[in-house]
Structure 1
């Protein structure tokens, strides 16, 4: 009876890169990401079937390693991972039977928004009472508005250039020291409606992606965008580097290096089977 009243939080590894990093620990016994996802999905369903209050959060391998170093905890133990999940102040979501892809995208968007300092407008401002949740406060400067417009334009150009299929966009930006020196990341997963051909986009994730890209543009930060597209049975990866307010296409070799390097250790990662690395395509510079 008490188990039904005890909240449970499960930490999710968001992608195969994070999974590959966690495989360095012998106590982490999974050897394939697809098997890990199936087991995690089964665990969440089993917990929910017991009518327990189940929540999910992200497991960031880099943050986990720093946490263990700070607390003097052996990272190569299941107990350390459980303690990290309980102690960290990352965004959490209530599990209600959602797909793992949806959960991960929403958690990434929430974490990117947290890092970027986004918050809703206060209720005591009558002139802002109809502003949608997530509006930047205080009111954005003209430069920031322009950067947000440019970010939306670039994201639209990426999706138009990618064509039909399912796409996963990840934007990573490192702000200059003068702007706080933070590392911001956001991801957007899109699909398409086979009956209408319209692109299906999660608004919250798209907003977080645009905010991160706009932060890099307005502060002249460093970073870039990776686009992973699934067309029937094939998967293709493109990449771009952020230069001012433009996304400069990476070469095929640069895309391979960026995608097959562990972001936490700098060590090379084995390329994924069936994934083709291609140069980024050019985006229009004219405002639309």
Structure 2
């Protein structure tokens, strides 16, 4: 069930800049990322074997494709999305033709390049990519709901978006040099949502790892527009001796120079965790004890797009501190 599709028949797949001259075709492999996905897909398309056997076949397929050259891409195969596609299009779910039509659907997540990583790493990356997309989609839906013109007390969408973006900039500015992970958890509301964003910055540049800063800003905007509350934490650790090389991560466009307002980087050793509670349009600093309680529990997996120096949770020796004052840029 590890499906492959050549980009000749799936024009949505983009080539990696600067590698167009590499010989061999571009091939996208769609993978069932969890055993639950495998079981759900098997109900739509019966297959022999168990998930362990499926994983081994997928590993061999990826290995062989890499050996033959060309560009190999991977993308999660979502059984629920596939079944919805088949229902919308009126095609049978157990047909290879239906799978090919689904693979060519432009609405799918963009594929990720595969460079020979272990299969466990690839699958974890794909699961988190899919989770990020779902969080972004839900947050955007909530933002649309809260800013519908028909609602008398609705906050205009542009105002909410400006609020989310400007306060993200304030958080990034205040974080200062270091390797950072921001976490936002909506405390209530119609959906229990959370988002994390990782970035590094020194005195001159800021690197963002993945699209999560945008998702984080959207969740702030949705919380503000809905009039709900959210808890925000910032975990900071010192940068290594060598900053990320060019091309590692994405240089984020915050519209400001990194390194202004460096309250969060006062320590040169260990990790520091700060926190705030978003209430209406106010970011209220948490006490150190509240920050400790609010900081996310240790995660068994690391982020797929994370900096190698960023930490998902604070170390046992972390220092907990109130959030620093935020100074959003003028509108």
Assess, with a 3 A threshold, how the Cα gap between structure 1 residues 271 and 117 changes in structure 2: closer, same or farther: closer
Matches within 5 A, 1:109-124: 109-117=132-140
Cα displacement (A) at 1:182? 1.0
Aligned counterpart, 1:160: 173
Assess, with a 3 A threshold, how the Cα gap between structure 1 residues 108 and 163 changes in structure 2: closer, same or farther: farther
Deviations 1:37-89 (A, max 9, x none): xxxxxxx987632339744589xxxxxxxxxxxxxxxxxxxxxxxxxxxxxxx
Q: 1:198 aligns with which of 191, 202, 205?
A: 205
Worse overlay, 245-254 or 221-230: 221-230
CA RMSD of aligned residues (A): 4.3
Matches within 5 A, 1:83-122: 94-97=111-114, 106-117=129-140
* Distance in structure 1 (CA, Å) of the matches to 2:198 and 2:277: 20
Aligned counterpart, 1:72: none
- TM-score (normalizing by structure 1): 0.54
Does the Cα contact within 8 Å between 2:33 and 2:126 map onto a contact in 1?
A: no
Assess, with a 3 A threshold, how the Cα gap between structure 1 residues 137 and 273 changes in structure 2: closer, same or farther: closer
* Distance in structure 1 (CA, Å) of the matches to 2:316 and 2:61: 33
Assess, with a 3 A threshold, how the Cα gap between structure 1 residues 46 and 169 changes in structure 2: closer, same or farther: farther
SS at match of 2:171: helix
Assess, with a 3 A threshold, how the Cα gap between structure 1 residues 108 and 226 changes in structure 2: closer, same or farther: farther
* Distance in structure 1 (CA, Å) of the matches to 2:183 and 2:225: 19
- TM-score (normalizing by structure 2): 0.48
* Distance in structure 2 (CA, Å) of the matches to 1:10 and 1:188: 22
Cα displacement (A) at 1:241? 0.6
Unmatched 5+ stretches in structure 1: 12-43, 59-90, 119-134, 264-269
Q: Does 1:254 align with 2:290?
A: yes
Structure having the higher Rg: 2
Assess, with a 3 A threshold, how the Cα gap between structure 1 residues 3 and 155 changes in structure 2: closer, same or farther: closer
Cα displacement (A) at 1:261? 5.7
Q: Which has the higher helix share?
A: 1
Cα displacement (A) at 1:173? 1.2
Cα displacement (A) at 1:275? 2.7
Cα displacement (A) at 1:248? 0.8
SS at match of 1:211: helix
Q: Does 1:278 align with 2:326?
A: no
Alignment coverage as a number of residue pairs: 198
Unmatched 5+ stretches in structure 2: 5-28, 35-57, 66-71, 79-107, 150-154, 240-268, 300-312
